[in-house]
Chains A and B, each alone.
Chain A
Amino acid sequence: MSQLLLIVSIGGSRVAFPSAAVESVVELDTLIPVPRAAPHVAGLSALRSRVLTVIDTVRSLDLGETDCSDGIREAAVVELDGHHYALIVDSVEDVVEAMSDPSPIRAAMGEGWERVALGMVETEEGPLLLVDVAALIAGPAPEARAA
């Protein structure tokens, strides 16, 4: 109930990350591309002495592509299985308290959102989609990517 959520906007939609999963919010400047990696892997960046694998969330959701050429992007840093990732988001808005457990969403969502959805949570700011960070990092399944 008292779960804290980080509200971010991805591809124009406001969604929530479980704030426990998010280590910090950073501004990325340099981005080193990783040739031949999955398209949603935008590249590598360094945070102090750690290497961050930068995930283009828009791409991961099949919503298009983030233009990383214009320099500084905001990103949420999460740790998964010992690796650090930076999830590029349009903007980071706020931290709010969840007022309900995630409940299934019966409305039809886009395919990309469907894959990463953990459910809908009630907050002071209305219902928000709770996003599974791991699914976002995993990106589209290989066959979907090929299509």
Chain B
Amino acid sequence: MDDLIADFVAECREMLEALGGEIVAWEAQPDDRARLDSIFRFVHTVKGNCGFFEFPRLEALSHAAEDALADCRAGRRTPDGPLVSAVLAVIDRIGEMVAAIEAGEEFAGGDDTVLIQALEPGAEGPAAVTAATVSDGKAVSAPRTIRLSVELLDRVMSGVSDMVLARNELARRLRETESDVTVDGAFERLSGIIAEMRDAITRTRMQRIENLFVALPRMVRDLSGELGKQVLIDIDGGDVELDREMIEMIRDPLTHIIRNAVDHGIEKPADRLKAGKREIGLLSVSARQSGNQILIDIVDDGKGIDGKKLVEKAVAAGSIEAVDAAKMTARERLALIFEAGLSTAREVTSISGRGVGMDVVRSNVERIGGIVEVDSNPGHGTRMTLRVPLTLTIIPALTVSIGSQHFAIPRAAIEEIVRANGTSVTLDSIGGAGVATIRGRRMPEISLADVLGLASDVPDEERTLVVLRPAGGDLYALAVDRIHDHEELVVKPAAPAVMATGLYAGTTLADDGSPILLFDPAGVAEVGGVKLEMQERAARIVEAASTATVRDDNVLLFRGLDGNRRAIRLALVDRIEEVARSSIRHAAGQLRVQLGDVILPLAGADALGVEAGKEGGEDKVRVFRLSDGTREIGYVFREVIDLMTIDHEVIPAEHPGAVSGVSLIGGEPAELVDAHWLFAQHLGATARAAEQVVCRLPSDDAWIQNMLRPIVEAAGYLVIDEHDELIPDVVIASHPGAIDDDHADRTLVLRDEPEAGIDDPSIYRYDRAGLLSALKAASGGKGR
């Protein structure tokens, strides 16, 4: 009997969960027959089962709801707001009762008769609230499934892991002995089958993210009802699969972000109308897979996050200094919402705004190796992005060792790996603390052997530095004795006594079956005494200040395509990339190189007077990515010779050109590349002249971006969006509601109709001449 009840409870729960979205959809379209049917089926099933189990209250409730819905189905009654609310209330009560049955308690609370009466035609139900979900037009049909306990799955999984280990052992034995070809063949087949099985069993842990999403429409509906707002929720990507444990881990952060969006983001209908938006706020939640990450976007079109207010709050709360605050970028300001104790909500509501929140969200997401990103456009909305790894249990890692012991480092945190005695690396000790300078970047350096208190026989300079960027922190370098291998490791949580060290994220088994400890990069930094949080903000500012004042005489000596020795200042080189010759071509008047998804002007090839692409020999060429801080150009070369310093006199060139002079470097003359000339020459028209006028366009308006932007740019304006820090000389708004108070006197407003109202200063959006002259006037005649 108990088994039957347990099955009944499980079935009810499953149906309730699946129903959450349906009900809200039904409310939006009460005549939607498919949804009416599925709700009817639910109450009908509950009623049938209750009779069997003798749950009289449950039976009476479901019976009443069934009757009311049956009337609707037969067309005797039209479903309306009050009925929907009454049915919802009944379904909620059924859910509570089922929970009580599961817990083995008597359900005491509440009076059912009120609920049943509310189902009567013409009854005064609770006020209906409006919310709707964008329907995809078809009811969800459940795939054929059976219920399995997770323990059973885990047992199968560990069985398969054992099998893999046994196979590895067998493989070792086979290698040691002279074996038969037929045995080898059979073993290969066995290996293949085991690998396949491991894949399949790993997939059983995956679950559609839909399970997380089905509850959202209902939650948003209830929230918006409570707050007197109207919110339309659009859900996409429910079929993305995620590790079931991961789904549980992101449930709370996701709920919190959505609550915030509805509570703080989306305005009340009246305010929305005032701001020129639709009454109904739009909240869109979408999931998609990108590599081995899942991205969940939560986008609302509410009032956005006020970065300035956040900064004021943070300064008032003492978490940042006013001096630093002034230097923060828009993005850094927004990131302040993740600081503990900051909330821009003026009042604390029951929903959110208690000051605990986003910091907890971030730490929860980071704990599972994820990232939360925030992007907001004041007045237009906020986008939150959760990036989480596909699975908790299998992570790519790098194995390293100290002495004879192996450890693993999650690959996601690794920026790069360099040898401590490499030419681009210098190690200094400042007040006993290690500082590594890697190609001009300075970062704290700690030795893993010291952190762990292990003896190491490898001298400092022969170690390898692993540059790590822990979640939410800044770079640091970790010196290890040896680097071994990249492996996909099945990570298991470690015992509390091991976790208490703060150093480890879990344990795992190597292929030979011996345990390996997996590091938590942030924990290692903390134990090693590296201050991550403080660095996060300070580093950027210090960096900017120091690069401006410190004159870097480090040069990179290289051989150009023409074979000449040349040198370029290291600070200018952002990075070195290897590209196929085919990605270098003449386009739009000059030689350009494609690097990933950017196209840069290319220098260095002109010495030959021919296109680099026509040069025979290797298929690949190397390109410096040079940066002046804002713009980039490429410089093609043959090979890097060494990193040197200029210690001899520089003999200036006679004419300005690609080479500014020549000097003895490393005992031989080398030409110094004149970066200023290169930038001036190659950026040409794309470079922003000093007197160029800045025009700000809203980034979220497709018409403006696609139609207007090219015209404005062609007129010689530098176009920026809301997030740019440049102060615009003129701002174009697509409608009067979008005027930003800061720039109201410099804002041009567009209108859709050719005819203007009286005293309407706006400009018809297709009035090109009017637009250009207005632009010129608004920017104080600075435009061309």
Interface residues of A (CB under 8 A from B): 30, 32-38, 40-41, 44-46, 48-51, 53, 55, 81-83, 85, 137-139
Asked if B514 CB lies within 8 Å of chain A CBs, one says yes
Contact in complex: B498, A32 (CB < 8 Å) = no
B405 & A33 in contact (Cβ 8 Å cutoff): yes
Residues 118-161 (chain B) with a chain A CB within 8 angstroms: 158, 161
Mark out the residues of chain B between 479 and 511 whose CB falls within 8 Å of any chain A CB in the assembled complex. 492-498, 500-501, 503-504, 507-509
Chain B, residue nearest A81 (CB): B496
Q: Are A51 and B509 in contact (CB under 8 A)?
A: yes
B494 with A51: CB separation less than 8 A: yes
Known A32-B514, A32-B516, A44-B517; 19 more pairs at CB < 8 Å: A30-B514, A35-B451, A35-B503, A36-B453, A36-B527, A37-B497, A38-B500, A40-B497, A41-B497, A44-B498, A48-B165, A49-B164, A51-B509, A51-B515, A53-B494, A55-B497, A81-B496, A83-B496, A85-B495
- Once bound together, how far apart are the Cα atoms of A53 and B453, in whole Å? 20
B158 and A49: CB pair below 8 A?
yes
B88 to chain A, nearest CB (A): 38
26 contacts between A and B (CB under 8 A): A32-B405, A32-B516, A34-B501, A35-B452, A35-B453, A35-B503, A36-B452, A37-B500, A37-B501, A38-B500, A44-B498, A44-B507, A44-B515, A44-B517, A46-B513, A46-B515, A48-B158, A48-B162, A48-B165, A49-B162, A49-B164, A51-B509, A51-B515, A55-B497, A81-B496, A139-B497
Q: How many angstroms between the C-alpha atoms of A83 and B497 in the bound complex?
A: 10
Write the chain B residue with the least CB distance to A137.
B497
Contact A53 B501 (CB under 8 A): no
- Please name all residues of chain B whose beta carbon is closer than 8 Å to the beta carbon of A49 when the two chains form the complex: 158, 161-162, 164-165, 509, 513
- B322 an interface residue at 8 Å Cβ cutoff? no
CA distance A41 to B504 in the complex (A): 14
Interchain CB contact (< 8 A) of A46 among B495, B503, B514: B514
Query: Is B454 interfacial (CB-CB < 8 Å)?
Result: yes
Contacts of A83 in B (CB 8 A): 493-496
* Interface residue ranges, B against A (CB under 8 Å): 158, 161-162, 164-165, 405, 451-454, 492-498, 500-501, 503-504, 507-509, 513-517, 527
Q: Please provide the 10 A-B residue pairs with the shortest distance between their CB atoms, ordered closest to farther.
A: A35-B452, A49-B161, A53-B495, A44-B515, A83-B495, A36-B501, A51-B507, A49-B162, A51-B515, A48-B162
A48 — which chain B residues lie within 8 A by C-beta? 158, 162, 165
Tell me, in angstroms, the Cα distance from A51 to B490 when the chains sit together: 11
B498: chain A residues within 8 A (beta carbon): 34, 37, 41, 44, 53
Contacts of A53 in B (CB 8 A): 494-495, 497-498
Bound-state Cα–Cα, A34 to B507, Å: 10
Chain B proximity of A67: nearest CB distance (Å): 18
Q: Which residues of A contact B513 (CB under 8 A)?
A: 46, 49
Query: How close is A68's CB to chain B, nearest CB, in angstroms?
Result: 14
Question: A35 CA to B448 CA in the complex, in Å?
Answer: 11
Please, which residues of chain A bring their CB within 8 A of the CB of B514? 30, 32, 46
Across the two chains, which residue of chain B brings its CB closest to A50?
B158
A2: shortest Cβ distance to chain B, in Å?
26
Known: A49-B158, A49-B165. A32 touches B497 (CB 8 A): no
When the two chains form their complex, are residues A36 and B503 in contact, meaning their CB atoms are under 8 A apart? yes
Report the Cα distance A32→B164, complex, angstroms: 21
Residue of B nearest to A33 (CB): B405
A55 contacts across to B, CB distance below 8 A: 497
Q: How far is the CA of A137 from the CA of B504 in the complex (A)?
A: 19
Q: Give Cα distance in the complex from A33 to B402, angstroms.
A: 12
Q: Give CA–CA (A38, B498) in the complex, Å.
A: 8
In the complex, chain B residues whose CB is within 8 Å of the CB of A44: 498, 507, 515, 517
Interfacial chain B residues near A32, Cβ < 8 Å: 405, 514-517
How far does the alpha carbon of A84 sit from the alpha carbon of B337 in the complex, in Å?
A: 40
- Docked CA distance A40–B495 (Å): 13
Bound-state CA distance A108–B494 (Å) is 36
Once the chains are docked, how many angstroms separate the CA of A28 from the CA of B22? 56
How far, in Å, is B468 (CB) from chain A's closest CB?
18
**Cβ of B454: which chain A residues have Cβ within 8 Å of it?**
35
Of B161, B509, B517, which contacts A34 at CB under 8 A? B517
Residues on A with C-beta less than 8 A from B504 are: 34
For residue A50, which residues in chain B have a CB less than 8 angstroms away from its CB? 158
**Residues from chain B with Cβ under 8 Å of A33 in the complex:** 405
Most central of B498, B504, B508 by chain A CB within 10 Å = B498
The distance from the CB of B267 to the nearest CB of chain A, in whole angstroms, is 46
**Chain B residues near A35 (CB-CB < 8 A):** 405, 451-454, 501, 503
Residues of A within 8 A of B494 (CB): 51, 53, 83
Nearest opposing residue in chain B for A53, CB measure: B495
Q: Can you name the residue of chain B whose Cβ is closest to the Cβ of A45?
A: B515
Docked Cα-Cα span, A32 to B403, in Å, equals 12
Q: Which residues of A contact B497 (CB under 8 A)?
A: 37-38, 40-41, 53, 55, 137-139
